[in-house]
């Protein structure tokens, strides 16, 4: 069993327990559930940088990244830096995140927030809306075509945007459908955790222009982003590059200034 299989097996048990503790009808009564969402798609299409900055404490591949920073300071720093949106890891066991991180980020900033999670059940989409998310992530590697359709259509009905993540052409071809907003190519192989932007370049011409193209993981230089822009990418998810520093907001600000020449 590889790490992705372990994460999904644990996630199924976690979600089953959560559904017993708080039913979805209760989630729909949470104050943040009725909040009008902000568009990450619009932010990416009108931005010169396209940066989606991530809050991530640790990962299975890198162990501890940064446990010392609170999510509010990180969120405020990112927003001041001028990022397009913020990705918030909510998986606890493998990434050290929680839904509390999403709530705290929502209370701190107005920019679009992506719930970064291994979504395997409709419940998690309602949960995302109830905790202040604007966007959800769906991972093609762990979902069937029918699940992608059902989950993305539910998200759209709740006013959430959908970023669908793929790792290869097979996943991309099964996933393209009107209920998606953004198609992300993860440069990290979720089975081996090796990283290369080659896969983003390889799949770029296969992604229809209707969707915002997002390149994810392993991006650590402005040169890499300028290169990927030549392939039509408008969004760039960066986490570890900023989170490894003592001040992710400052790091993001300096990165964006270098990228945009301002």
Pick the catalytic residue: 11, 56, 129, 213? Answer: 56
Rounded to an integer, the average pLDDT of 141-156 is: 97
Q: Ramachandran region of residue 87, left (φ > 0), alpha (ψ -120 to 50) or beta? A: beta
The answer, yes or no, to whether residue 61 has pLDDT greater than 80, is: no
Q: Please report, rounded to a whole number, the percentage of residues in the chain having pLDDT higher than 90.
A: 86
Q: Any catalytic annotation for residue 216?
A: yes
* Active-site entry in 66, 217, 251, 253: 217
Active-site residue, selected from the candidate residues 79, 117, 165, 171 = 165
Pick the catalytic residue from 49, 79, 108, 116.
116
The CATH H-level superfamily of 3-260 is: Aldolase class I (3.20.20.70)
190 has pLDDT over 80: no
Q: Specify the pTM.
A: 0.95
Statement: residue 66 has pLDDT above 70: no
- A 10 A CB-CB count for 100 gives 12
pLDDT of res. 22: 96
pLDDT in tens, 92-108: 999 999 999 999 999 99
The arithmetic mean of pLDDT across residues 182-211, rounded, is 89
Catalytic-residue membership of 186: yes
Query: Is residue 161 annotated as part of the catalytic site, yes or no?
Result: no
Q: Is 56 a catalytic residue?
A: yes
Catalytic residue list contains 165: yes
Q: Which of 117, 161, 216, 240 is catalytic?
A: 216
Nearest C-alpha neighbor of 8 from the set 240, 190, 164, 238: 190
């Amino acid at each position: 069993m590889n790490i992705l299989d372990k994460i999904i097996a644990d996630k199924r048990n976690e979600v089953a327990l959560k559904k017993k503790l708080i039913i979805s009808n209760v989630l729909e009564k949470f104050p943040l559930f009725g909040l009008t969402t902000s568009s990450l798609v619009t932010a990416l299409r009108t931005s010169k940088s396209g940066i989606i900055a991530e809050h991530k404490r640790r990962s299975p591949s890198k162990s501890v990244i940064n446990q010392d920073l609170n999510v509010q300071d990180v969120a405020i720093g990112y927003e001041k830096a001028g990022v397009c949106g913020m990705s918030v890891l909510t998986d606890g066991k493998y990434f050290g995140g929680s839904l509390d991180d999403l709530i705290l980020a929502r209370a701190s900033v107005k920019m679009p927030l992506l719930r970064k999670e291994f979504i395997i059940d409709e419940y998690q989409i309602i949960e995302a809306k109830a905790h202040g998310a604007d966007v959800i992530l769906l991972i093609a590697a762990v979902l069937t075509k029918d699940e992608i359709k059902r989950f993305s259509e539910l998200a759209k009905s709740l006013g959430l945007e959908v970023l669908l993540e793929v790792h290869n052409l097979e996943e991309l071809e099964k996933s393209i459908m009107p209920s998606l907003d953004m198609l992300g190519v993860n440069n990290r192989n979720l089975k081996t955790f090796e990283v290369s932007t080659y896969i983003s370049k390889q799949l770029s011409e296969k992604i229809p222009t209707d969707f915002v193209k997002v390149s994810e993981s392993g991006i650590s230089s402005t040169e890499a982003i300028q290169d990927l822009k030549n392939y039509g990418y408008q969004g760039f998810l960066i986490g570890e590059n900023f989170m490894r520093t003592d001040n992710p907001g400052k790091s993001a600000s300096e990165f964006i200034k270098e990228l945009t020449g301002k």
